[in-house]
Amino acid sequence: MYQDIQEILISEEEIEAKAAELGKAIAIDYKDLNPLCVCVLKGAVPFMADLIRKCEIPLEVDFMAVSSYGNSTKSSGVVRIIKDLEASVENRHVLIIEDIIDSGLTLSYLIDLLKGRKAASVKVVTMLNKPARRTVDLKPDYCGFDIPDAFVVGYGLDYAEKYRNLPYIGVLKEEVYCS
Ligand code: 5GP
Ligand code: MG
Ligand code: MG
């Protein structure tokens, strides 16, 4: 597994420090708001786990799984809900926790959906952001790292469901895609 990685883009230590920084910032902004943190499965799981432990305020966690219609490399913006929330978002301050924002299509659909369900507010925290690939006007409210337009894996992110358990974020070797 480790030999499939061409380059480590963000180290375990950098990730840890950034998750702590974001968690503390969110704790200040959401103090007394009891936010509902919506973790988008599966990629955001490690980030959620690190983030909420550095966010020392009352909060709740729920999960959502979505899949974008379209081919494997390009999302269409039409999203299928595979697993919906258990909690009602009505009058709740919702914080969506994402692994990465690429085109932004999936996330903009989710934001509209949760606003339509009458959330009091909907904001987004993402560990990674690829601004160069954006096709909709969407900026994360909290962001770990802006990264270049490369396909990355690790820290929750997969290629064909693998590499999610790498503790760092890395670029896959080209031969892994081509073999
Ligand atoms: P968007 O709708 O923003 O284009 O899609 C975002 C989703 O695409 C992410 O949640 C993730 O599943 C996938 N994705 C986008 N870029 C990457 C990447 O560099 N690596 C991996 N593993 N997944 C990515
Ligand atoms: Mg995601
Ligand atoms: Mg994936």
User: Rounded CA gap, 68 and 80, in Å?
Assistant: 6
Domain parsing of the chain, residue ranges: 13-147
Residues with CB under 5 A from ligand 3 (ion): 158
CATH topology of domain 13-147: Rossmann fold (3.40.50)
108 CB less than 6 Å from ligand 1?
no
List per-residue pLDDT tens for the chain, 179 residues long: 789 999 999 999 999 999 999 999 999 999 999 999 999 999 999 999 999 999 999 999 999 999 876 655 566 677 899 999 999 999 999 999 999 999 999 999 999 999 999 999 999 999 999 999 899 999 999 999 999 999 999 999 999 999 999 999 999 998 898 86
- Over the stretch 131-175, which tens digit does the pLDDT of each residue have? 998 999 999 999 999 999 999 999 999 999 999 999 999 999 988
Averaged pLDDT score across all residues of the chain: 94
- C-alpha dihedral (8, 10, 13, 14), degrees to nearest 10: 160
ipTM of the complex: 0.95
User: Rounded CA gap, 141 and 115, in Å?
Assistant: 16
User: Rounded CA gap, 179 and 165, in Å?
Assistant: 22
User: Rounded CA gap, 90 and 71, in Å?
Assistant: 33
pTM assigned to the model: 0.95
* Amino acid at position 1, single letter: M
Is 102 annotated in the active site?
yes
Residue nearest to atom 23 of ligand 1 (CA): 157
Q: Is the peptide bond before 83 cis (omega within 30 degrees of 0)?
A: no
Instruction: Identify the active-site residue in 62, 99, 102, 158.
Output: 102
